[in-house]
Amino acid sequence: QKEVEQNSGPLSVPEGAIASLNCTYSDRGSQSFFWYRQYSGKSPELIMFIYSNGDKEDGRFTAQLNKASQYVSLLIRDSQPSDSATYLCAVNISGGYNKLIFGAGTRLAVHP
Amino acid sequence: EPEVTQTPSHQVTQMGQEVILRCVPISNHLYFYWYRQILGQKVEFLVSFYNNEISEKSEIFDDQFSVERPDGSNFTLKIRSTKLEDSAMYFCATSGLAVQETQYFGPGTRLLVL
C-alpha cells in the first residue's frame, strides 16, 4: 500500500511567521509532488508542484523535495490569517496514470 | 481563468437510488478524474479516464460506479444503487497531456445518501 503521511496538526503560528509543513511518502519511484490547500467544505486548490530535488519558490511559498529521504515540505513565509486551512500533500505514484495519493492533511492556524 | 465546474453542488438521495454527478472539464484538458472525500477523511482516488476509456480505477470503484463522456464536454460519474457509505464529497479533476501534469479540482458535489 503506497502511503503519504502528514502530521495532522493543528500547526499554530503567529501572523508574519514561517509555517513549515512536512510530508513523507512510501513509494520510492514517485516522480511528482503537489501541495494543495483546502478550506473547510471546499475543494483542493493547487498551490505548488515539484518534480526535482531541491527547492522551488513561488511568492511566499517554497516547496522542498528530497527523494533520497522520501520527504517533501512546504514553507509559507510571512504567514497570514487567510493562510489558515488544511494543506494536503499529494504524490503522483509510479506506475499509475496520474493517480494522486493524498495525505490526510495538516491543519494550519495563523493567529493575529 | 479556466476552471472545472460540477453540478449539482448538493444531492440528497435515498439508499438504492441512482445518482449522476456531472463535471465540465477545463476545455483543453484530456485527462479526467474522480476523487471522493468522506467527511473528516483523506481525498481518495476513484478513477482516471482518457481517450474515452478508463485508465485506472481504485478498489472503491466497483461495479456500482461508472464514468462516461456522453457529449464531448460533460464527464459524468454514475452510482447505480447508492449506499449509505457513498455519502461524501465527490471531486472531479482534470489535467493536460503530460504524465506529470497538475490536476485542477472542481468545487465538488456533496452527496448525502439517506
pLDDT tens for A73-83 read 999 999 999 99
Closest CA to A45 of B98, B74, B75, B108: B108
On average, the pLDDT of chain B sits at 93
pLDDT at A18: 97
Task: Say what percent of chain A tops pLDDT 70.
Answer: 97
Q: pLDDT tens-digit profile of A53-107? A: 999 999 999 999 999 999 999 999 999 999 999 999 999 887 666 789 999 999 9
Q: How far is it, in rounded angstroms, from Cα A40 to Cα A37?
A: 10
**CA distances to A96, B75, B89 from B40, in Å:** 26, 26, 11
Q: How far apart are CA A18 and CA A58, in angstroms?
A: 15
State whether residue A83 is helix, strand or coil: helix
Question: What's the distance, CA B19 to chain centroid?
Answer: 12
Q: Which three cell numbers stand for residue A110?
A: 495563523
Adjacent-strand bridge partners of A11:
A108
Interface test with B, best of A3, A47, A65, A98 (most B CBs within 10 A): A98
- Optimal mutation site among A97, A101, A102, interface B, most CBs of chain B within 10 A: A97
Q: Give the minimum alpha-carbon distance from B104 to chain A in angstroms, rounded to a whole number.
A: 7
